[in-house]
Amino acid sequence: MTLPLEGIRVLDLTQVYAGPTCTRILSDLGADVIKLEGLKRMDITRNFVMPENTGKDDYWNRSGYFLLRNGGKKSITLDFNDPEAVELVKRLVPHADIVAESFTPRVMAKFGLDYESLQGIKPDIIMVSLSGYGQTGPWRDFTAYGMGLEPASGISSVTGYRNGEPLRTGISFTDPYSGVVGAGAVLAALHCRRRTGKGQYIDLSEHESAIPVTGYAIMEHVLTGRMPERIGNRSEWYAPQGCYRCKGDDNWLVITIRDDAEWEAFCHATGHPEWEDGRFGDVLGRFRYHDELDGLITSWTREQDQIEAMHLLQKAGVIAAAVLNPKQVLLDPHLGERGAFDVIEQPDVGKRPVSRQLGAKFSAFVPNSARPAPKLGEHNREVLQGLLGLSDEDLARLEEQKVIGDTPEGAVPLDVMRMFVQWPTTTFLQMGTIAGLDADYREQLGITGDEK
Amino acid sequence: MPDSALEGIRVIDLSQGIAGAYCTKLLADLGAEVIKIEPPEGDYARRLGPFPNDVPNHDKGGLFLHLNTNKKSVTLDLESQSGRVVLRKLLANADVLVESESPGVMASRELGYEQLKGEFPGLVYCSVTPFGQTGPYAGFEGNSLAAMALSGLMYITGDPDKEPLCTGGEPAEYFGALHAWVAILAALEHRAANGGGQHIDVSMLEALGCADEYNTTMYAYLGAIRKRFYSRHAIPTYPSEIFPCRDGNIVVIGGATGFPLMMAILIEQPEMENNPLFQNLWLRFMQWEKFEEVLRPYLTEHDWEDLLTRAQELRIPFAAVLDAKTLLENEHLRERGFFAEVEHPELGKVPVAAYPFKMSETPLRVGRSPLLGEHTHDVLGEVGSEAEDQLVLRERGVT
């Protein structure tokens, strides 16, 4: 089976979340992605989410967060602060079709790796820069995290409880969003290069890329002069809509009623035909008495199992969905049958379910998503010798000079870092940032037997 | 003027609503010719507003404009045999078809992928639905809220003592749109390299699920079930959230280098550098209420632009909390030309959000959305639908 990006090579200078999402998608579609890290500047997500410490010292090769966005890539270590390393990066450029980077705008130019310089080395190179606020404008040099870009994009202004403060999503929303945008940008540029023979430069502002999600609110302000309000889980268009408590401690069901026919179906399915007519008989009434309706709906959902209620209402043609917690997501029969999670065997970790990074299934090929993440510097020899023809002596010398290697060198000593990366899950439980802690989670997920 | 990146690509868009429309808008702005096929009453997104003076009008919807720039609108009734005959004529010159019907509906109209692939072997046929074409929930009704719920992202958003909270702006629709757009471009690359079209099955739920940062990973690696906690990260990066300040809100983020010194300087209490809450991130994470007693009074005495500017000077990644109005007025976005004004025959001059990135060599099209059926005559004429055919179709209310 041939994948669409077979024969395409990506030099991946990105780190953390947005950039690695972009290049992971390209990798799954068949591109050969070479990820560059520095021994003094490894991808910090190599520190996030470890399995139990089973005595292995190389914790940086066992992070779940890193695996999620870097599975299938090759890892080489070249530190940009070393002039010889920068020269080696430049020697790799002729072998690449795409260079992806996510530094603040001044960095690539500082190392002589800006688009003009790369174009001088490889005229048809495609370069994509994913930065917080883009390459131009007064905020261009701002340092940016995804947690800040979601509120800056306007999305938080319409996220929050009714009459409450603006809130972020519980993830770094703009990172995965702009990462997917980056993958599409590269594909569009490749399409163009095939036809015209020309490469190009893509300036992707992670901030701007997510602003269109706020499109309705922006248009409301433009066309009516109103400021959109935070409406919790309600809808601009339909009533009732909300998130309703079910049987159990923290189990919930979302429901949307789009028209009178669905309202009738809902009332019959729940055994409450008396709600059908009168004040609630049309959408205007259901909007006006939404608070009262929420109370009535909760009086029904409170006695229901969230999953059974979802199926009951869906059978009646009503939009209803259980609010799944992360464990339920992993065990969900629909996502399971769809193959939303690959089970990946990560060396020194064992098998783990890992979310795919492209929510599309193709009839002509299957993306190559089920591969482990590379160890730090795992492909130094393969890439530097295979592509650049460095000798064994060259490699030994670079290793001695700590230009290349397989062990990070941070400001924090490694034994301190090893303690730091172990998360205090029992404290999380006491604080309430986690709802539960299953000692037998591997049995529950069916991934036992090969723990290293 | 050089060609656009997708010059020569023709897309037949049968989708309605948000996800399919934003996907084909991304293709249209890149230069593809997108022919939007609407039922005689129009895409239902035309009825979602917002409208000037709140008066509904199928040509004046703001969301529809946002989602359908640079497309052509053709009205065609696919419920009728003659409508389907015309569609097949259009498909003869098309590269891509996008549809968003419930699974099985297209097949019932003899327009399923299996029914079309023999006649159109090069066609890239993309279906965008809430839960995909297969699996136990394939027949479920859905929307962005339902996808948020089933993705796990809603469970971890909001306050611990309140109901889980949906992100505003219908995010699953937009994520679905992006994944469909990427998948279509990948399928076009595949066709160029290997020949042949294919069917693409995009699930909004799975597209949104791909955005899960580390929630399922926390269970798969630690057996820990993450829960919403003021939308705060479980990773000890506290604080990285929105706080009120004197004239609005500000995102306070310490980042990798903000603590202890730079944050202490920022809040003009340099002695706090030695405070354990500033020194130890785990302690700060666990005793967050104590930390906020230090932080909040300072923020409420300062304006967001002042806080943002000074924090950034100290290389602390604070961010603004913008809304519809402040986005439109924002100087940074203005200098980058993010909002472009388009002239719409019914709405007049309207600012629309620019493309999500800039390209150095190929232009990105800036334009308006089509009026309902604006291009029916021209497009049907091009495929040789004779004038009398069109008249018959019009009499039957098809066009």
Domain co-membership, A205 together with A110: yes
Domain membership of residue A160 (yes or no) is yes
- Beta-bridge mates of residue B13: B36, B98
Domain co-membership, A354 together with A306: no
Domain co-membership, A133 together with A98: yes
Question: Which residues in chain B have their CB less than 8 angstroms from residue A356's CB?
Answer: 206, 210
Domain co-membership, A154 together with A257: no
> Residues with Cβ < 8 Å from B60, sequence gap 6 or more?
A223, B51, B52, B346, B347
Question: Which residues in chain B have their CB less than 8 angstroms from residue A352's CB?
Answer: 217, 220-221
Domain co-membership, A115 together with A177: yes
Domain co-membership, A283 together with A192: no
At A274, the amino acid letter reads E
Domain membership of residue A44 (yes or no) is yes
Cα of A399 to nearest chain B Cα, Å: 28
Arithmetic mean of pLDDT over chain A = 94
- Per-residue 3-state assignment (H helix, E strand, C coil) for chain B: CCCCCCCCCEEEECCCCCHHHHHHHHHHHCCCEEEEEECCCCCHHHHCCCCHHHCCCCCCCHHHHHHCCCEEEEECCCCCHHHHHHHHHHHCCCCEEEECCCCCHHHHCCCCHHHHCCCCCCCEEEEEECCCCCCCCCCCCCCHHHHHHHHCCCCCCCCCCCCCCCCCCCHHHHHHHHHHHHHHHHHHHHHHHHCCCEEEEEEHHHHHHCCCCCHHHHHHHHCEEECCCCCCCCCCCCCEEEEEECCEEEEEECCCCCCCHHHHHHCCCHHHHHCHHHHCHHHHHHCHHHHHHHHHHHHCCCCHHHHHHHHHHCCCCCEECCCHHHHHHCHHHHHCCCEEEEEECCCEEEEEECCCCEECCCCCCCCCCCCCCCCHHHHHHHCCCCHHHHHHHHHCCCC
Domain membership of residue A14 (yes or no) is yes
Domain membership of residue A235 (yes or no) is no
Domain membership of residue A4 (yes or no) is no
Domain co-membership, A35 together with A109: yes
Domain boundary among A287, A322, A357: A322
8 Å CB contact of A147 and B249: no
Q: What is the pLDDT of residues B72-124, one digit of tens each?
A: 999 999 999 999 999 999 999 999 999 999 999 999 999 999 999 999 999 99
Cα→Cα distances A149→A4, A168, A175, B321, Å = 32, 10, 9, 9
Domain membership of residue A226 (yes or no) is no
> Residues with Cβ < 8 Å from B112, sequence gap 6 or more?
B106
Residue B342 touches chain A, beta carbons under 8 Å:
no
Dist CA A399 CA A438 (whole Å)? 42
8 Å CB contact of B175 and A227: no
Domain boundary among A292, A322, A352: A322
Average pLDDT over every residue of A152-161: 98
Average pLDDT over every residue of B327-348: 97
Domain co-membership, A56 together with A177: yes
Residue B118 touches chain A, beta carbons under 8 Å:
no
Q: Clarify whether A28 is annotated catalytic.
A: no
Structural domain harbouring A165: 9-212+337-443
Does position B385 have pLDDT exceeding 60, yes or no?
A: yes
Q: Which of B 120-179 lie inside 8 A of A, CB atoms?
A: 131-137, 139-143, 145-160, 162-171, 174-176, 178-179
Domain co-membership, A303 together with A165: no
A311 — phi, psi (to 5°)?
Answer: -65, -40
Domain co-membership, A48 together with A102: yes
Dist CA B54 CA A225 (whole Å)? 11
Domain boundary among A322, A348, A365: A322
Q: Which of the four pLDDT bands, split at 50, 70 and 90, describes residue B387?
A: very low
Domain membership of residue A233 (yes or no) is no
Q: Which of A58, A175, A291, A394 is catalytic?
A: A175
Does position A202 have pLDDT exceeding 90, yes or no?
A: yes
8 Å CB contact of A161 and B159: yes
Question: Which residues in chain B have their CB less than 8 angstroms from residue A330's CB?
Answer: 216, 219-220
Does position B388 have pLDDT exceeding 50, yes or no?
A: no
pTM check: above 0.90: yes
Cα–chain center distance at A178: 9
8 Å CB contact of B66 and A201: no
Domain membership of residue A175 (yes or no) is yes
The token pair at A49 is 């989410």
Question: Which residues in chain A have their CB less than 8 angstroms from residue B51's CB?
Answer: 223-224
Q: What is the pLDDT of residues B269-327, one digit of tens each?
A: 999 999 999 999 889 999 999 999 999 999 999 999 999 999 999 999 999 999 999 99
Domain co-membership, A191 together with A303: no
Torsion of CA B152, B156, B161, B162, to 10 degrees: -60
Q: List domains and CATH numbers for chain B.
A: 10-210+336-395 (3.40.50.10540), 240-322 (3.30.1540.10)
Q: Which of the four pLDDT bands, split at 50, 70 and 90, describes residue A452?
A: very low
Residue B97 touches chain A, beta carbons under 8 Å:
no
Domain co-membership, A202 together with A141: yes
CATH of the domain at A53: 3.40.50.10540
Question: Which residues in chain A have their CB less than 8 angstroms from residue B212's CB?
Answer: 171, 326, 329, 355
- What is the pLDDT, as a whole number, of residue A50? 84
Q: What is the pLDDT of residues A294-334, one digit of tens each?
A: 999 999 999 999 999 999 999 999 999 999 999 999 999 99
Q: Which of A159, A222, A325 faces B62 most closely, judged by CB atoms? A: A222
8 Å CB contact of B150 and A338: no
CATH of the domain at A285: 3.30.1540.10
- Work out the percent of chain A whose per-residue pLDDT is above 90: 90
The token pair at B323 is 């809304």
Q: How many domains does chain A have?
A: 2
DSSP single-letter state for residue A39: T
8 Å CB contact of B237 and A147: yes
